[in-house]
Structure 1
């Protein structure tokens, strides 16, 4: 981008991924500020309220080392209560005092929702931003919802011929009506991965091998969602690829996650001392290109825009690749895979976020005048 813009960075939120979002947001806000943009940090409380982070607080954090572990180096939801409202000019939003809506703290040209999990990554906040008519970074309402819902995602991928692993899904009433949990997973071989349909950062996920309690794993998943997905595990390598772009998206280098204990859990992602990621992944060129091609195809299958991280399972014995899932707002911490795979492709962290802002403006400029409150104004 050439001209600096005023960008509202939304972070926090009521989901179980609140702390991860706070860490991602600091990295994004720093990079945007370093690129010359005016950054307004807006924290979302665990109950859904908005707080405007004081400029002095952000300035102090921005000046920090920026090399801490993911959840140690982060923004915090602090400051006066505010509201987001439609701006006085088309395509803008304003940050207004909650107790005095006429008192405007800042005007925003773009919103960057660095929100992981429910409320922020599932189409909810995207709907709010659409209603305000302000450009925003990342996937729209539908792609966000499909990307967040692993059951809907797999349906979309299967419809477009993208390879996925065998799986089943069921809701609470179906689960409670069955007399034997094994009846719901007939045809699936262990290990099984039991997970909430709409959650991220490995929260609520259990790996079930022979002798493990399937019912306990399902009950844990139901603590986080009303629909549970059970996938057949694949003995293979965990690989990840970034996608960036709009109508003609591009794929990054490919990274690999080296895990212990059978899968990449929350502790290894955010609390471990060792970096489990290898970028670029040591792979034959042919496999790398297949992954990059499938990443773009998977992104198109959900109607993606802006960015996503596509996660793969690679069975070296058979040569099979499976798309495990897409993450439409991947982690942006110093410890996250998405910035690393783009850095390996020659695109810096700052350039990634700058391009995402430009893509948000491009999408907004292309929308028909009859679409949304912003276009109708």
Structure 2
């Protein structure tokens, strides 16, 4: 691999979380140890066009430097060139855009849903984070909840349906949600992150409006009961023997921790560690590892929980397989307070990716042809 490990950072993307991805990529690039790594940026536009930038041997001065433009005439060529540079990265192929490992920093659709992970698998190249199945399950809130149920993890009551089902029988699904969940409740696109498309409904009129809004972002919606609870989070790191960080708490500036509260108003705060007793802390960390294993996670994930105020009961909310990764995001902050700084965390994630890739090379995918 040469004196420096060549890391391909993929960011941007055809997703509602494009700007969040750019912020993550800029933060990661600033924290890499450039004595050990050389960075190759792969920028994906909102239209899905892949554009490669020049290799970086030092951190960019501005996040705007991570955006690369290409003319309409050459856009197809740049996309093919970028993809070729991934597929030609191994087996001794000499290429100026060669990389040793891919680091996807794509939040949301086409980034943490297993699609780009499948591309890396086809290229047989190491990549950071969860695999195809874990990424897909972690992205789809419905299947994720089914995996949690199979692992006997407690969770709130929910209902889900597709747009086709909704258009066919709205009255049935409205009645079912009202009986099973009551008001208020939360409506979410099944396949999206960062609270995009999420609404709180206090009555039938708001519920219908929230469902229609969620269908802008996905063909399937999930509706969950409201729990008066604190929102606490645990970072998970590892492959076959994952470990959990200390527990942190999100204190939202809004009625709930929506996109505005996360990224715009800047008023939400974090309590690290969360003000909870040691027994509850241990239980949350154990449940985070159980959830990680339930979806066959590798690399990293952040487990989000509800801690009910009145009863103290714990309910798992979701597992984020590509959590926010700026130095001010909960995932790296929890590890920092657990004894692993940002740069060490990046090193560990790359090591875990190489470890998983090496293990996978021992699998016989062809079988005995005799």
Q: TM-score, normalised by structure 2?
A: 0.89
**Deviation by residue 1:117-146 (Cα, 9 ceiling, x = unmatched):** 010100000000001110000000000000
1:93 and 1:132 in contact (8 A); partners too: no
In structure 2, distance between residues paired with 1:88 and 1:151: 36
1:33 and 1:39 in contact (8 A); partners too: no
2:147 to 156, 159, 162: 156
1:300 to 289, 293, 301: 293
C-alpha displacement of 1:176 = 1.1
Match of 2:88 in 1: 87
In structure 2, distance between residues paired with 1:107 and 1:371: 26
C-alpha displacement of 1:41 = 1.2
**Deviation by residue 1:11-42 (Cα, 9 ceiling, x = unmatched):** 00001000000110111222224462111111
- Quick check: 1:316 aligned with 2:309? yes
- Quick check: 1:23 aligned with 2:23? yes
Match of 2:111 in 1: 120
Kindly tell me: are residues 273 and 368 of structure 1, through their superposed partners in 2, closer, same or farther at Cα, counting changes over 3 Å?
closer
Match of 2:68 in 1: 78
1:249 to 242, 245, 263: 242
In structure 2, distance between residues paired with 1:322 and 1:135: 34
1:129 to 109, 120, 135: 120
Match of 1:101 in 2: none
Match of 1:111 in 2: 102
Kindly tell me: are residues 266 and 188 of structure 1, through their superposed partners in 2, closer, same or farther at Cα, counting changes over 3 Å?
same
- Quick check: 1:171 aligned with 2:153? no
Match of 1:42 in 2: 42
Q: Which moved more, 1:234-243 or 1:172-181?
A: 172-181
Kindly tell me: are residues 306 and 6 of structure 1, through their superposed partners in 2, closer, same or farther at Cα, counting changes over 3 Å?
same
C-alpha displacement of 1:53 = 2.3
**Deviation by residue 1:161-208 (Cα, 9 ceiling, x = unmatched):** 011110000011211122425223121122211000000011000011
Q: Which moved more, 1:277-286 or 1:170-179?
A: 170-179
1:93 and 1:108 in contact (8 A); partners too: no
C-alpha displacement of 1:47 = 2.2
1:313 and 1:323 in contact (8 A); partners too: yes
- Give the SS at the match of 1:106: coil
**Length, aligned pairs only:** 352
- Give the SS at the match of 1:230: strand
Q: Which moved more, 1:120-129 or 1:28-37?
A: 28-37
1:280 to 261, 273, 280: 273
RMSD over aligned Cα, in angstroms?
2.2
In structure 2, distance between residues paired with 1:248 and 1:182: 43
Match of 1:11 in 2: 11
- Give the SS at the match of 1:10: strand
- Quick check: 1:351 aligned with 2:344? yes
C-alpha displacement of 1:341 = 0.6
- Quick check: 1:263 aligned with 2:256? yes
Q: Where does structure 2 lack aligned partners over 5 or more consecutive residues?
A: 71-77
C-alpha displacement of 1:79 = 5.1
2:52 and 2:82 in contact (8 A); partners too: no
Kindly tell me: are residues 193 and 230 of structure 1, through their superposed partners in 2, closer, same or farther at Cα, counting changes over 3 Å?
same
